[in-house]
Structure 1
Amino acid sequence: MDGIDLSDPRAGYLRVADGIRRQIEAGDLSPGDQLPTQRELAAEYGVGTETVKRALEQLRSAQLVVSHQGKGSFVGQGPATASPKSDEFGQFVSELTELRAEVAELRQRLDRIESRGL
């Protein structure tokens, strides 16, 4: 697996999810293949395990990955039918998820600033 493009301005988890998605689409990973562990993916992509967890959540919501407690994550069968509308919806969900993460980060930053009494 390749590292992520650091010049890409999107959140890290979206870049990791896209990297794994590209491998699935290219046929490098096939349905049923087990993905490396979260720690291994974090090391390969140069990100934290929380970033990898969020990337896997993205891929699960797109039905590209399935996870089994204690066994790991595997390439799924993918959506049964793909259509332009489902692609648009997937993009919308990705953007919404990214915005929520950014808002949460801004809330944390604001809480830290306010706790300093500034």
Structure 2
Amino acid sequence: MTSQCKTAGPWFAEGPDEFGDFNIHHPADRLAVAAVVSNLRPPSEVAANAAFIVRAENSFQLLIEALEDAKAHIEADLAEHLLCCSVIRDGVPDRSTMRDEDVERAAYLEGIISRAHDALTEASK
């Protein structure tokens, strides 16, 4: 089985049809990419679900780029923090020379970087 790329954006939602369903499509070919089926859910909920899927798709790449940029800035902040708050030995910050609050700050920044990395890895699957 060969893998294919997803349908390019932007996507649009159209509906409801006679069954209360919404079709999500690309405007160039009007072929459905997905459908949000009412399945007896309230019409406002079905419309909100369709709108959410469209917003998620249409904003996905911008969110990834923003997260990558934020991660890079936090990595730079961490590097600067380590340089300012520790003794550098052989080009590596020695955390044993740091004050407790500086170690906590470094761990906090590393946690953010780790979560951003995990989110970017998941998004690239």
TM-score (norm 1): 0.27
Structure having the higher strand fraction is 2
Q: Larger radius of gyration, structure 1 or 2? A: 2
Higher relative contact order (CA 8 A, sep 6+): 1
